[in-house]
Amino acid sequence: MPKIMPCAFGRLIKDALDYKVRKPQAWLIDEVHKDTGLYFDVWYLHKIMTGRSKNPNITASICKILDIVVPEAVGAQDELAVGNNT
């Protein structure tokens, strides 16, 4: 089964969490839920990071929380990047 790789926005999220704010994904999930009042969990974050969900409210909240700018390609969020599982 091919591994689904993060889209450009997903890579931005990962880099911001790892190097900018130095917080785990669970922290981001909690902050997005607080900010939007919407249901948000690890599976939903995974869908955002792989480009399978494009909810503008969630995307805007993530950008606000992590202080990142949505790349123009994310408006249509780039196609799923599928890599080999070798």
Per-residue pLDDT tens for 41-79? 999 999 999 999 989 999 999 999 999 987 665 544 444
Which residue ranges make up each domain of the chain? 3-83
DSSP state of 38: S
Ordered alpha helix ranges (H), the chain: 8-15, 25-36, 42-49, 56-66
**Concatenated DSSP letters for 51-62?**
TS---HHHHHHH
What's the residue count for the chain?
Answer: 86
Task: Determine how many CB atoms are found less than 10 A away from the CB of residue 46.
Answer: 15
Distance CA(43)–CA(56), nearest Å, equals 17
The CATH code belonging to domain 3-83 is: 1.10.260
Compute the radius of gyration of the chain from its Cα atoms: 12
More confident position, 74 or 33: 33
